[in-house]
Amino acid sequence: MIKADGLALGKGVIIAQTKADAQDAVRAMMEQKKFGKSGEQVVIEEFLEGPEVSVLAFTDGNCVKPMISSMDHKRALDGDKGLNTGGMGTIAPNPYYTKEIADRCMKEIFLPTIDAMNKEGRTFKGCLYFGLMITKDGPKVIEYNCRFGDPETQVVLPLLQSDLLTVMQATTNGTLAETDVSFSDKSACCVIMASKGYPLAYEKGFELTIPAAVKDSVYVAGAVQKDGKLLTSGGRVLGATATAATLKDAIDAAYKKVETIHFDNAFYRRDIGQRALAAKEG
Ligand code: GLY
């Protein structure tokens, strides 16, 4: 069946599993004009398979300094089952992003991207998000975003050792090459607590209880303040992040934090980081 999936979700991308699906999709777009004007042009892309890696990178338009790599978990349920979401949790660093892959990405993807934008007269400065897939033929770009990732940022920035403001100023001043951008060699894990039903319909308005001991590493997104209380107002309500010397300890610590947080109808995946742990061990 035709579906939008993985990093393509929500980007207006149709993934056809068979040639017949592809023909139906093109017919729906071009003949039945299902997508209006945006369906007038069709781009057919290669089907790629492999683990996904998110790399956020600082750039001043010349120099690119990638941040530590991360892995998102897009599906709503354990075992990468259920519907796609904005992201149910992350870990960093991503074990599939080896030194060899990182070197290839710099040479084949990051620098050519910056060069191409300069040649088009569209110099980009700031944080560039590379959504990558590590295929059997090497790393391929699935998507770019001109922003930080969510929930990637929740595991990447806690590992940043350099001063974030200084680095951001360097991206606009053009001094990134001389600016230190270093990361801790620890690991991080972020577990998203969502409203039951997300990414479909869900109820809102439940009070959040977040103990003071974990507040500084809990990033609240889908909530509003009302009459002095914090109430759920979104699908992905918050992310609890922990860092530790090993990935396993970071995962355990993130789940310990989650267990101390309460709101009615909360749900979260129980297996964030397990695929990465298996890849490290395998
Ligand atoms: N986590 C995916 C994104 O930020 O687009």
What digits encode the pLDDT tens for the residues 208-226? 999 999 999 999 999 999 9
Q: What pLDDT, on a 0 to 100 scale, did the predictor assign at position 101?
A: 98
Domains of the chain: 2-39 (no CATH), 52-281 (3.30.470.20)
9 CA from centroid of ligand 1 (Å) = 10
Residues enclosing ligand 1, CB less than 6 A? 72, 87, 145, 149-150, 152
CB 61 within 8 A of CB 118: yes
Instruction: Write out the two tokens for 163.
Output: 């001063």
Burial-class residue 279 by CB neighbours within 10 Å (0-12, 13-18, 19+): middle
Q: Whose CA is nearest to atom 1 of ligand 1?
A: 150
- The predicted structure's pLDDT at residue 107: 98
Q: What is the pLDDT of residues 179-210, one digit of tens each?
A: 999 999 999 999 999 999 999 999 999 999 99
Rounded Cα–Cα distance for residues 202 and 234 (Å): 8
pLDDT score recorded for residue 226: 96
Residue 229 has pLDDT above 90, yes or no: yes
- Ligand 1 atom index nearest CA of 90: 1
Using DSSP's 3-state secondary structure scheme, residue 35 falls into coil
Q: Which residues contact 152 (CB under 8 A, 6 or more apart)?
A: 54, 56, 70, 72, 87, 90, 92, 129
Cα distance between residue 8 and residue 71, in whole Å:
15
- Is the pTM higher than 0.85? The answer reads yes
pLDDT, one tens digit per residue, over 128-167 is 999 999 999 999 999 999 999 999 999 999 999 999 999 9
230 C-alpha to ligand 1 centroid (Å)? 25
If you measure from the C-alpha of residue 260 to the centroid of ligand 1, how many angstroms do you get, rounded to a whole number?
26
For ligand 1, atom 3: residue with the closest CA: 149
If you measure from the C-alpha of residue 92 to the centroid of ligand 1, how many angstroms do you get, rounded to a whole number?
Answer: 14
Q: What is the Cα 131 distance to its own chain's centre? A: 8
Of 53, 54, 84, 141, which is best to mutate to test ligand 1, by the most ligand atoms within 8 angstroms of its C-beta? Answer: 54
